Structure 1
């Protein structure tokens, strides 16, 4: 159950990098009403994501035969595309600042509530899709436990860094998680192709893994190497 833990750790860091610095700032400045709005919004987003996720799980469980295979294959390809988009194509837009964003600070209580609700809902729904692929691979209790542990670990990491208790470089942590996630995306893509076309194309799984992993790692490492060369660190 390492995959659900890693996925929840990564997505959790994205969530808490927005929410926890805000809460730390609000508490430091005794804006407890704003903190309450953030907490309530987070709870609402989590609740809605849980309900939607439960509905998705219950409906998927009803699929059997060709319909189930078609869903599994398409889900694998969709998740692979999601990983490619969020990990490779959007990496240049990611912010890893553990201080509260001034744009968010200026929001009203209602704005903070909506921001927290949307953040939790969007990321947790994404987590649900990833976990869905592992639902039949093991003990559901272990699956849920590893997912919750991943989210809790993400919250702890962001909290200790935001409070200045640790000098952990979140960018490095996130980078390593992205490397793992690309590999997982390659597996999903290969598995999806194998489910859909394995009867007609031999070695669909291996072909899918290579077609996905090689370009993705190339784009990721190319961008990072370019930034490193232009950063002035090399003299």
Structure 2
């Protein structure tokens, strides 16, 4: 039940680490037109992602029988692959800076608007794919948890931006990544069980272990190297 909240919290941090420092910077320098462009682009990106998400949800709800099972199985495997790429192999890690990227600041109003729109659209659509796996849960609960996660992410980044909190966003993001790996392992196991469970009874556990053990080993190994280098 809490998966949508944690997923949207993680994706929301990715969004607001780009958006909020920009808005704070523009307002501080009285560049209010740039702020409006950020808000407009973000709103359009969020609206487009919401529309596409609604279409995806409405279409998947029509699936039943073998088609529904095939979709659920393939979706689980795709999401597991997405987690493996973005969290384990690509190693997304968020560092915090009050100053926004200079390349973003130097863009025109249209450019800043596009950056904001693409950021919202990409991350919200990614979150939608994960939330699809919660189709068995009440839509109201899923929606409420998702909104709460995004609101929490905005609040955390805003408080740190304003200096009200010294929360380590990198640590929060790292913990959420560990959770996401566990979720990816579950998705892979579940997807394999849907597709091949009738042939291999223990495929769910096998899939989870094959996914989780190497993924955690890769992350822990890299982090140990970083820690040891700092100690030396």
**TM class, shorter-chain normalised?**
over 0.9
Which whole-Å CA distance do the structure 1 matches of 2:114 and 2:159 have between them?
Answer: 25
- How far, CA to CA, are the matches of 1:85 and 1:68 in structure 2? 26
- Residue in 1 that maps onto 2:212: 213
Give the secondary structure class of the aligned counterpart of 1:96: coil
Compared with structure 1, are the counterparts of its residues 98 and 3 closer, same or farther at alpha carbon in structure 2 (3 Å cutoff)?
Answer: farther
**Structure-2 separation of matches of 1:88 and 1:98:** 27
Q: CA RMSD in A?
A: 1.1
Q: Aligned partners of 1:51, 1:92: CA distance in 2, in Å?
A: 27
Q: Distance in 2 between matches of 1:45 and 1:35?
A: 15
The 5 A counterparts of 1:33-182 are 33-91=33-91, 94-136=94-136, 138-182=137-181
> How many angstroms apart in 2 are the aligned matches of 1:107 and 1:86?
27
The SS at the match of 1:165 is: coil
Q: State how far apart, in whole Å, the 2-side matches of 1:142 and 1:97 are.
A: 34
Q: Does the 8 Å contact 1:49/1:124 carry over to 2?
A: yes
| Equivalent residues of 2:93, 2:173 under 8 A apart | no
- Cα separation, partners in 2 of 1:98 and 1:181, compared to 1, 3 Å: farther
Kept in 2: contact 1:33–1:109 (CA 8 A): yes
1:72, 1:22 → 2: CA distance? 39
Deviations 1:156-210 (A, max 9, x none): 0001111111111000100111111100110000000000000111201000000
Alpha-carbon offset, residue 93 of structure 1: 6.4
Which residue pairs with 1:15 in the alignment? 15
Structure 1 stretches (4+) deviating beyond 2 angstroms?
A: 92-99
Mapped partners of 2:160, 2:211: distance in 1: 34
Aligned pair count reads: 232
TM-superposed deviation, 1:99: 2.5
Give yes or no for contact 2:86–2:92 (8 Å, CA) kept in 1: no
Where do 5+ consecutive residues of structure 1 fail to align?
A: none
Contact preservation (8 Å) 1:42, 1:117: yes
Judged with a 3 Å threshold, the aligned counterparts in structure 2 of structure 1 residues 9 and 68 are, in CA distance, closer, same or farther, namely: same
* Structure 1 residues 100 and 135: alpha-carbon distance in aligned structure 2, compared to 1, 3 A threshold: same
Q: Indicate if the aligned counterparts of 1:99 and 1:162 stay in contact, CA closer than 8 A.
A: no
Asked whether the equivalents of residues 93 and 170 of structure 2 are also in contact (C-alpha less than 8 Å), the reply is no
Alpha-carbon separation, structure 2, partners of 1:191 and 1:153: 29
State how far apart, in whole Å, the 1-side matches of 2:75 and 2:179 are. Answer: 19
Tell me, yes or no, if the aligned pair for 1:17 and 1:98 is still in contact at 8 Å.
no
Separation in 1, partners of 2:154, 2:204: 35
Supply the distance in 1 between the matched residues of 2:112 and 2:150 (Cα, whole angstroms): 21
Aligned to 2:201: 202
